[in-house]
Amino acid sequence: MNRHLLSASDLDRDDALLVLDTAAELAALTDRAVKKLPTLRGRTVVNLFYEDSTRTRISFEAAAKRLSADVINFSAKGSSVSKGESLKDTALTLEAMGADAVVIRHPASGAPDRLAHSGWIGGSVVNAGDGTHEHPTQALLDAFTMRQHLAGGKGDLAGRKVTIVGDVLHSRVARSNVLLLSTLGAHVTLVAPPTLLPVGIETWPCEFSFDLDSHLSSTDAVMMLRVQRERMNAAFFPSAREYSRRYGLDVRRMNALPEHAIVMHPGPMNRGMEIAADVADSDRSVIVEQVTNGVNVRMAVLYLLLAGAQLGESEGSDRTAEVVAP
C-alpha cells in the first residue's frame, strides 16, 4: 500500500482485497461487547473537516478510537480557518502536534493531494471526500457491503453488475466507486440525465445510460446518489418531480430488480427525491449496513497505513492475536 489513500486508483487489486479482507477480520473482532483493540495506541489521528459531514466524520472517529489512537477532531467552523488561516498553516499546526495521520474532507478537489505532497506534514493523508473528485473509503465500504451480499463475504465481485444512478456530475462517491469496482472486475453502468454526467465520461472505465428502467432487471446492486443541490449553480433538470419520475427509485422500480439485488445509498438521502422512503426502509436496502461497514473499513485503512502490518497474509491468525492482545 502507498503511504496515503487519496484516490481509489491508489489501490491495485491486491491492495483493495487486502483492505477488504482486513476489514472483514476486524469486523469479526469488533463484533463483541468490548470493541477496542490496542493496535494504534500512542498514535494520533486528526480528522480535518472543512465540509459538513455526519457519517464519514463519526465513522473515522469511531474507527481510530476502536484502534486506541488519540483522535483530534478539527472542523473548519469555529477554528482559525474562519479567520482566514490557510491550509498550509493549519497543516503546519497539525504537524507540530505530531499527527501520524490526517483524515481530510475539503470542498476543493485536490486538497488532500496538496496536503500529501506539499512536505507540510510527515504522516499519512486519507482523503475523506474532496470536492467533486474522490471519496475512496466510501467506495471501499460499498465494495465491502457488495461482497457481503453478492459474493459470500470474501468472494469475488468480478462480473457483478452495479448500476449507479443520479447526480454523477457532483459525486465523488460515483468516481471512486467506478475506479475501485473496475479494479475488482465488476461491471458498472452510470445512469443519469445528460446534464448530470461529467464531460469526458466516455473515458471512464464503465458504461453510461440515460434510461434507468432498461437496466433494472440485470442489476445486482443499485446505488442511488444524492442530488447535490448545494453544488448546483444552474438548473440541471426541470423540477424535482420530473427528476424523481425519471431517475428516482420507487417501489415499482425496486420490484423490477432481481430478487437478490441490493439497494444502496451513501447518505445523506433526499427521501422522496432520488429514493422513495418505502424503498430506503425496505428489506432490500443495505443503507444502514453501509454505515456499520464504514467503521470496519476505515479501521482497516488506518491500520494498514499506520501499523503497516498485513492481517490478510499467512500469519494472519498470529497477527490477529497480536492485535487483540492487551
CB neighbour class for 108 (10 Å; exposed up to 12, middle 13-18, buried from 19) = middle
Cα separation, 204 vs 218, in Å, equals 21
**Contact 136/1 with Cβ under 8 angstroms?**
no
Interacting residues with ligand NCD between 155 and 174 (CB under 6 A): 172-173
Q: Which of 110, 131, 198, 267 binds ligand NCD (CB under 6 A)?
A: 267
Residue nearest ligand NCD, Cβ-based: 226
**Nearer to ligand NCD by C-beta: 43 or 106?**
106
Task: Give bridge partners of residue 304 from the DSSP assignment.
Answer: none
Task: Give bridge partners of residue 187 from the DSSP assignment.
Answer: 161
**Contact 194/210 with Cβ under 8 angstroms?**
yes
**Nearer to ligand NCD by C-beta: 147 or 172?**
172
User: CB of 159: closest distance to ligand NCD in angstroms?
Assistant: 27
The answer to the question of residue 293 lying near ligand NCD (CB under 6 A) is no
Q: Which of 112, 129, 166, 193 binds ligand NCD (CB under 6 A)?
A: 129
Tell me how many residues contact ligand NCD (CB under 6 A): 11
Residues 6+ away with beta carbon under 8 Å from 6: 112, 113, 116, 125, 127, 134, 136
Interacting residues with ligand NCD between 207 and 246 (CB under 6 A): 226, 228
Interacting residues with ligand NCD between 21 and 50 (CB under 6 A): none
The answer to the question of residue 56 lying near ligand NCD (CB under 6 A) is yes
The answer to the question of residue 138 lying near ligand NCD (CB under 6 A) is yes
Helix axes 287-302, 55-66, angle to 10 degrees: 50
**Nearer to ligand NCD by C-beta: 249 or 323?**
249
What Rg, from alpha-carbon coordinates, does the chain have? Answer: 20
Residues that bind ligand NCD (CB under 6 A): 55-56, 129, 135, 138, 172-173, 226, 228, 266-267
